[in-house]
Amino acid sequence: MATDRSSFLVKQDVRLSHCSMSAESKEAPTNGDSNSFVEVYSAENNGQQFRKAVKVNLTPSAIPKRRQELLKWNGWGYEDSKFAVRKGVIWFTGNRYPIGELELPYFTQWTKDVFNVDLSKPITPQPPISKFPDPIINTDFMAEIRKCNLVISDDGMDRLFRAHGHTLHDIYILRVGMFARIPDLVIWPDSHDEVVKIVELATKYNVVIMPYGGGTSVTCANSCPEEEKRMIVSLDMSQMNRILWLDRDNLVACIEAGIIGQDLEKELKINGFTTGHEPDSHEFSSLGGWVATRASGMKKNVYGNIEDLLVHVRMVTPTGVLEKHTQGPRVSIGPDFNHVVLGSEGTLGVITEVVLKIRPLPACKKYGSIIFPDFESGVNCMREIAKKRCQPASIRLVDNEQFKFGQALKAEPSFFGHITDGFKRFYVTKMKGYNVHKMVVATLLFEGEQSTVENQEKMVYEIAHQFGGMPAGEVNGQRGYTLTFVIAYIRDLGFDFNIVAESFETSVPWDRTLSLCRNVKGRVAAECKARGILHYLMTCRVTQTYDAGSVVYFYFAFNYGDMPDPCHVYEEIEEAARNEILASGGSLSHHHGIGKVRKKWYRQQVSSQGVHLFRAIKHKLDPTNIFASGNLDSGELKAKL
């Protein structure tokens, strides 16, 4: 297959020797037309003929190889975008996002009210690091790798950048210290075949490989196990970002696993398609990462989660390539091994190519919002909407704390912004009986044919009415969604003012949704009280609906005052919260995954037999534990086998 296709591909990378990259060295299109598809016929699968559209070229990735040149080395997102304080008022820098260059007076006040912060006394993080742990070098392996004409780097900053994801712990360490272990070498493979080669060599010389996609993991999945004495290679997948072919008839596309969300959507859009997969991290996270973590996108109601979108996948393991030799839309050929790849979190092999379902771009896209008198009626309404199966592409219900927070993020007073005064406040809070300190809002995103959207809107608003909900306009809905990408930047601001913050999520049956939210908030309140934490924010939202339950997403942040190890305190509290979630009928994770932070509960969730099964798979695919990231369960694996 690979050879078939590669004959149509023009590789245009400027091969870089190690440590000599710059932003300019980004591959540029060489054949002028970056979006030309060539109609081809390829003989595959027992000679059957498929009509394919094969993409021969692609715009360069939005993310350079030297990520630190565009992205923060010790925080979230683009270097030029962040919350900052100017003359005592918070504003957002840069113009990549809708609130860029705007002053945020309400938000400024909010941070004082909720967290009691003193904006005049920021804490400065450590300057960019220049001293890194000495690399462990497997010289035989290095010798062979050098022969392979690969893009590699042992630059300290390159290595450090791939030693972490965006878990609180990761970023906290970057601001105050150093990881005990970071990758010893970074390699940027360019194709499936190169990956096969690298994995072969690593297996031969007993070198550890850790696949690295977008680095947005929030489970410490990218952390190097401290006790690992072998050389660790970080396999940065970012250069494998081509759409290999696109099949308009069957509505599928074969895509290299390193592509990040925004590039994928940009490319597909040019051709009139979308995957519809939109995790909140989609600016930076990669296709391989989604598959490896069983990611979930905001619009899954229309398009499905990653496991629904995935038709075919190739994974390179130390003992060979795992893939299905069929592309039937659904098959009954024993247990589905796609599901061994999905959620494998880099422990079994490298995902190199994925065939995904694609959809024509929607004709109509419309936002909406509904306010409810309280969280309970909001949840009941969502349950009803799910029962009737008329969910729009996305429906999210935020609790009162987040509702207020959302209001605070406005630059100018508007519909809700005025909520503290004026006519609209009167209307919403007095006439309709809404209490500003109880009311909540649901935001909606409709996508599809005009008529479908209209029907859906009608049904949704009717149901909402039964539960005391009142439509609150498109603008508010849209704001909710556009702010999504900005919210991830807030944590870095918090760090500057003694605040640590993190989110965690779960999925839960409908009848336990409310009690779970209540219990977890109660538990966190109790844990804070026990530790003398006075200023904190504990808020939740219901972000997804399923037939059988919902997804709840929590944000927790607190002012840690002069605690010596706030990160550890946070982890203790999150652990208590997770125990509460499990005891309240929630799952260990809906989409973030296990990584290292949730390993201790893995067995409880999947049973001992489940763990045995996983270990058996691991043992067969990766007998010498080349993929030694230690995610999921593998920590205990060595000892047990």
Partner 1 sequence: MSSNGSPSQIAEGTEQAEDRQKAANAAPQLQDVLRHTCPSPAGPRVLSTFRNILDRDSCDLVWVTKEWRPQQVTLHARTRTTAKIRQDVISSPKMQHTIEQQLSSQNEVPKEALWRELNDILIEMGHTQTMPVVRWFGYVLSKIMRKIYSGVFVNEESIARLRASIGNNPVIFMPSHRSYADFLLMSYVCFHYNIMLPVIAAGMDFVSMWGVGRLLRDSGAFFIRRSFGNDKLYWAAFSEYVQTLITAGENPIEFFVEGTRSRTAKSLCPKLGLLSVALEPYLTGQVSDIVVVPINISYDRTLEETLYSYELLGVPKPKESTSGLFKALNVLDEQYGRIHIDFTEPISVNKFFGDLRSPKLMRPLHLPHQITPDESTRIIWLANYVVRQQQKNAVISLFSLAAVVITHHVLTKPRNQLLNMHQLTRQVASLKSAAESFGALIDCRDNLEVSLQNALHIHKSLIVTSKDGQVQVKNVAAAQAPIDPAKMKGHSLQDKTLQVGVPMVMLQHYVNQTLHLFICPAIVSLSVQQSINQGSGMKDDVFARYLFLRTLLSHEFILHKAWETMDFEQSIQQLQKLGVLDESLHDSMKLSLGSNSHLHQILCQLLLPFLAGYSSACSTMLEVPAGKTVSLNEALKSTQARLEKLLLSAQLNHHYSLSLDLLTAAVNSLSSMGAVIKNKENGKVLYSPNSNRLRQVTQIVGDFLQLVAPICRKSQDEQARLFITQAKARL
Ligand X SMILES: Cc1cc2nc3c(=O)[nH]c(=O)nc-3n(C[C@H](O)[C@H](O)[C@H](O)COP(=O)(O)OP(=O)(O)OC[C@H]3O[C@@H](n4cnc5c(N)ncnc54)[C@H](O)[C@@H]3O)c2cc1C
Query: How many Cβ atoms are within 10 Å of 610's Cβ, its own excluded?
Result: 13
Residue 77 known to bind ligand: no
- Of 172, 303, 536, 553, which is the active-site residue? 553
Stretch that binds ligand X, among 26-34, 422-430, 475-483, 587-595 (CB under 6 A): 587-595
Residue 346 known to bind ligand: yes
Between 181 and 603, CB nearer to partner 1: 603
Residue 213 known to bind ligand: yes
* Angle, helix 139-147 to helix 192-205, in steps of 10 degrees: 160
Contact status: 579 vs partner 1 (CB under 8 A): yes
- Taken as a whole, the chain contains a residue count of 641
Report yes or no: 358 and 246 within 8 Å, Cβ to Cβ. Answer: yes
469-528 residues near partner 1, rule: CB under 8 A: 509, 511-512, 515-516, 518-520, 522-523, 525-526
DSSP state for residue 97 in the 8-state scheme: S
Residue 334 known to bind ligand: no
Burial letters for 227-262: b for 16+ Cβ neighbours within 10 Å, e otherwise? ebebbbbbbbbbbbbbbbbbbbebebbbbbbbbbbe
Closest distance to partner 1 from the beta carbon of 597 (Å): 16
CA angle 169, 175, 180 (to 5 degrees): 60
For the CA atoms of 269, 166, 186, 223, the dihedral, rounded to the nearest 10 degrees, stands at -140
CA distances in angstroms from 48 to 45, 327, 332, 333, listed in the order given: 6, 12, 20, 20
Closest distance to ligand X from the beta carbon of 392 (Å): 17
Contact status: 557 vs ligand X (CB under 6 A): no
* Angle, helix 400-408 to helix 474-487, in steps of 10 degrees: 90
What DSSP line would sit under 505-570, residue for residue?
Answer: EEEEEHHHHHHHHHHHHHHHHHHHHHTT--SEEEEEEEEEE-SSEEEEEEEEEEE-TT-S-HHHHH
For the CA atoms of 315, 319, 325, 329, the dihedral, rounded to the nearest 10 degrees, stands at -40
Between 167 and 498, CB nearer to ligand X: 167
Q: Are strands 536-545 and 394-398 parallel, antiparallel or unpaired?
A: antiparallel
Contact status: 466 vs partner 1 (CB under 8 A): no
Closest distance to ligand X from the beta carbon of 305 (Å): 8
Closest distance to ligand X from the beta carbon of 348 (Å): 8
Could you identify the residue written with the tokens 């804490």? 123
For the CA atoms of 555, 560, 563, 568, the dihedral, rounded to the nearest 10 degrees, stands at 10
Phi/psi-derived region of residue 101, left when phi > 0, alpha when psi is between -120 and 50, beta in every other case: left
Contact status: 191 vs partner 1 (CB under 8 A): no
Count the site residues for ligand X by CB under 6 A.
Answer: 37
Contact status: 592 vs ligand X (CB under 6 A): yes
| From candidates 151, 174, 254, 257, binder to ligand X by CB under 6 A | 257
Closest distance to ligand X from the beta carbon of 502 (Å): 10
Choose the one of partner 1, ligand X, none that binds residue 156, judging by a C-beta under 5 to 8 angstroms depending on kind: none
In the residue annotation, 489 being an active-site residue is answered as: no
Stretch that binds ligand X, among 100-108, 138-146, 343-351, 445-453 (CB under 6 A): 343-351
Contact status: 601 vs partner 1 (CB under 8 A): yes
Choose the one of partner 1, ligand X, none that binds residue 58, judging by a C-beta under 5 to 8 angstroms depending on kind: none
Annotated binding residues: 211-217, 293-296, 345-351, 491
Annotated binding residues for FAD: 211-217, 293-296, 345-351
List contacts with ligand X (CB under 6 A): 165-166, 210-218, 221-222, 237, 257, 279-281, 285-286, 288-290, 292-293, 295-296, 345-346, 350-351, 488, 591-593, 629, 631
Catalytic residues: 553
List contacts with partner 1 (CB under 8 A): 509, 511-512, 515-516, 518-520, 522-523, 525-526, 579-580, 582-585, 601, 604-605
